[in-house]
Amino acid sequence: MNMYMRKVVALSLILVVMAQVALAADELKPVVLPKPQTEGGQPLMQVLKDRHTSRDFSPRKLPDQILSDLLWAADGINRPDTGKRTAPSAVNWQEIDIYVALADGLYLYDAKTHTLEPVLAEDLRALTGGQAFVKDAPLNLVYVADRSRMGKASEADKDMYSAADTGFISQNVYLYCASEGLATVVRGSVDRPALAKAMQLRPEQRIILAQTVGYPKDENEDKDK
Condensed to tens digits (0 to 9), the pLDDT of residues 25-71 reads 558 999 999 999 999 999 999 999 999 999 999 999 999 999 999 99
The domain 30-224 belongs to what CATH superfamily?
NADH Oxidase (3.40.109.10)
Is pLDDT of 4 > 60? no
**Percentage of the chain surpassing pLDDT 90?**
84
Can you say how many angstroms the Cα of residue 47 is from the centroid of all Cα atoms in its chain? 23
CB 210 within 8 A of CB 190: yes
Whole-model pTM: value is: 0.86
Supply the DSSP symbol for 81: T
Distance CA 211, CA 86 (A): 18
Residue 10: strand pairing partners: none
Q: CA–CA distance from 58 to each of 22, 133, 188, 217 (Å)?
A: 33, 9, 21, 4
What are the sequence ranges of the domains in the chain? 30-224
Distance CA 136, CA 59 (A): 6
Is pLDDT of 14 > 90? no
CB 28 within 8 A of CB 105: yes
Is pLDDT of 114 > 60? yes
Between 14 and 132, where is the model more confident? 132
Distance CA 82, CA 54 (A): 35
Environment class of 219 (CB within 10 Å of its CB; exposed 0-12, middle 13-18, buried 19+): exposed
Element at 213 (helix H, strand E): strand 205-214
DSSP three-state, residue 120: strand
